[in-house]
Chains A and B, each alone.
Chain A
Amino acid sequence: MLEIIGLTRRFGTVTAVDAVTLAIPHGQMMGIIGRSGAGKSTLLRLINRLVEPSEGRIVFEGRDVSALRGRALRDWRTDCAMIFQQFNLVQRLDVLTNVLVGRLNHRGTLTSLLKLFTAEERAAAIRTLDRFDLAEAALQRADTLSGGQQQRVAIARALMQEPRLILADEPIASLDPRNGKVVMDALRRINREDGLTVLCNLHTLDTARQYCDRIVGMRAGRVVFDGIPAQLTAPIVRDIYGMGEEDLDRAETVTGTGLEAASRPRIAA
């Protein structure tokens, strides 16, 4: 169980996350929706402690993780693996090394710096890649892969961390619909097969409805909806986004289903 209690983060005068309280049971797949700037990314980064909270606590299985430092903080980050919109792979390294990077906190610094990964680690990485049909690409450079492939490599890297949670920040916003589906399927698979809790920021309502057990809607840093997909009615959508779903769809078709980050579909702010 992950408990978020009164979590707040201010950037100057902007309150990006405002007194958010949530309890997420183990193994849940939870989607977070809301307009651009609603605080979705900040919430995930607070949980991973890439951003420090201004107020509030994060408790994981009874342990407060909001004040960890040094080694303990790195262990916590290893426990909650992050998936990024832009995949964040090391482009010039091969796929295998990109996946093995997920092991870094499990091993000695010196052997890591010399890139001395063991045969078992390599085998585990290949097996993980194979789950996502990417074992063949292991020795290719990351920048030779398509966006959908890169995101699946990033998921494999996350799994190599042996995490308890997956935090995915708009994992398909840079992908075309077909690749977006492949990546969402992969996330659901690790949720169902590995029993991992998945927290996923999403920009399309349909995806959230289709894949998530629970949906949380955010507006101006606050949680304004928390329920199952069936409870996400038209008035509630209007409340979260400040516009109806038809306008939302139009806003998305206008911005296009971007293949590139620059033209990624975003809800107009």
Chain B
Amino acid sequence: MAAIAGDAAVARFEERHRALRRRKALTTAIGTVLFAAAFLASAIVGELDPARLAAGVPNILDYVHRTLPAISARQPLTDIGEWYWAIDVWLLLMLDTVLMGLVGTLAGAGVALLFCFHAAANLAPNRWSFWVARRGFEFARTVPELVFVLIFVFAFGPGPFAGVVAIAIHYAGALGKLFAEVNENADPRPIEALAAAGAGWSETMRFAVLPQVLPNFLSYGLLRFEINVRAASVLGIVGAGGIGEELYLVVRRFIYPDISAIVLLILVTVALIDMGCERLRHSLIEAGPARATR
């Protein structure tokens, strides 16, 4: 009896299993077709032409070849010195760009910190402030930095200030969303305790939420510092000053070795910042919650 009942269960399972696999195979097939169609459509819209691609590649290689500096084995140091003939100016400009990225990052993080509590569903003091904070962050991060910087160059004139404001706004939007998500995972118990003690909303955020989320905030804040420095270099091209503007200049004037020199300088700087931030973030994470000895 039991064996027969068991067999029936096995049969039912096999049936369901087969149905499930059929459905899965169907989803995969539909997905593949859709992907191929989308790929084809975007290739046509993007005028992707294999022949043109093949014809263009040598041009790229040629361009890169031209920018390569002439460094001989006989006197390499002198040649490198020649290559980086304007290193003093470039370093200062690079510093400008790094500062633009840094100030933009700090200002953006500050704005995100100020409004991320309103943008968290569990903490917002009322519905309209939640809505305003959410939409504000969304707007700030969906409008590209380039659009902001063009507006600000028009408004404040060319220079790093426009770049800083553009980076700050975009970053505030990106970071605000992350911060709000961290807030939504905060332990509700201390929040309840502070409310029960008669603390106001801002005090509750300060004492019950901030201590919990601050290490994550710092880690996220550092996450994109190097991306912001890279963004600051690009913004220079459209008038925000710094090393980007210089790069744009030498590209327009076809001063080929300078192009490679500046690009390499940006590359190394961004990589160094990335490594430094990574270190800092790791030490932050390791210094995280000491476990209770309960």
Q: Check if B199 is an interface residue, CB within 8 A of chain A.
A: yes
Knowing A74-B200, A105-B198, A112-B206, say if A82 contacts B193 (CB, 8 Å).
yes
B290 and A141 contact, CB distance less than 8 A: yes
Contacts of B207 in A (CB 8 A): 90, 93, 97, 101, 104, 112
A188 CB → nearest B CB, Å: 22
Other-chain residue from B189, B203, B212 in contact with A86 (beta carbon distance below 8 A): B189
Query: Provided the pairs A141-B290, A143-B292 are in contact, do residues A104 and B203 lie with their beta carbons within 8 angstroms?
Result: yes
Task: Kindly state whether residue A253 has any CB partner on chain B within 8 Å.
Answer: no
User: Are A74 and B292 also in contact (CB < 8 A) when A88-B190, A92-B211 are?
Assistant: no
Given contacts A78-B197, A109-B203, A161-B197, contact A144 B293 (CB under 8 A): yes
Q: Which of B189, B290, B291, B294 has most chain A Cβ within 10 Å?
A: B294
**A211, CB-defined interface residue at 8 Å:** no
Contacts of B293 in A (CB 8 A): 144-146
In the bound complex, what is the Cα–Cα distance between A141 and B211 (angstroms)?
A: 11
B208 within 8 A of A: yes
Whether B187 sits at the interface, judged by CB under 8 Å, is yes
Q: Interface code A49-84, partner B: CB below 8 Å = 1, 0 otherwise?
A: 010000000000000000000000011111001101
Q: Which A160-219 residues have C-beta < 8 A from chain B? A: 161
- A92 proximity list for chain B (CB < 8 A): 211-212, 289
CB distance from A86 to the nearest CB of B (A): 5
Chain B nearest CB, measured from A46 CB (Å): 12
Q: Is A113 an interface residue (CB 8 A)?
A: yes
On chain A, the residues within 8 Å of B202 by CB distance are: 109, 113
> CB < 8 Å: which of B190, B196, B208 contacts A77?
B196
- Extra 5 A-B pairs, beta carbons < 8 Å, given A76-B198, A92-B212, A161-B197: A77-B197, A81-B196, A82-B196, A93-B207, A260-B294
Taking Cβ atoms with an 8 Å cutoff, the residues of A that contact B are 48, 50, 74-78, 81-82, 84, 86-93, 97, 101-102, 104-105, 109, 112-113, 115, 141, 143-147, 150, 154, 157-158, 161, 259-260
- The 8 nearest A-B residue pairs measured at CB: A78-B198, A88-B193, A105-B198, A77-B198, A82-B196, A74-B198, A88-B189, A104-B199
| A/B interface sample: 19 pairs, CB < 8 A | A50-B192, A75-B198, A82-B196, A84-B193, A89-B193, A90-B208, A90-B211, A92-B289, A93-B207, A101-B197, A102-B197, A104-B207, A105-B198, A113-B206, A143-B290, A143-B291, A144-B292, A161-B198, A260-B294
